[in-house]
Amino acid sequence: MSEMRQITYRDAVREAMVEEMRRDESVYFMGEDIGAYCGAFGVSKNMLEEFGPERIRETPISETAFMGAGVGSAITGMRPIVELMFSDFMAVCYDQIINQAAKMHFMFAGKVNVPMVIRTPSGGGTGAAAQHSQSLEQMYLHVPGLKVVVPSTPYDAKGLLKASIRDNNTVVFLEQKRLYKEKGMVPDEDYTIPLGVADVKREGTDVSIITYGRMVQMSLKVAEQLAEEGINVEVLDLRTLSPLDKDAIIATAKKTHRVVIVHEAVQFGGFGGEIAATITDSDAFYYLDAPIKRVGALYCPIPFNPVLEAETFPTPAKIEAAVRDVL
Return the active site residues. 132
Check: CB of residue 290 under 8 Å from CB of residue 113. Answer: no
Residue 148 DSSP SS3 = strand
Contacts with 210 (C-beta within 8 Å, 6 or more apart), sequence order = 236, 238, 249, 252, 259, 260, 261, 262, 275
Q: Which residues of 187-221 are buried (b: 16+ CB within 10 A; e: fewer)?
A: eeeeebbebbebbebbebebbbbbbbbbbbbbbbe
Check: CB of residue 87 under 8 Å from CB of residue 121. Answer: yes
To the nearest 10°, report the CA torsion of 271, 273, 275, 276: 160
DSSP state of 189: S
H or E element: which one contains 149? strand 146-149
DSSP state of 88: G
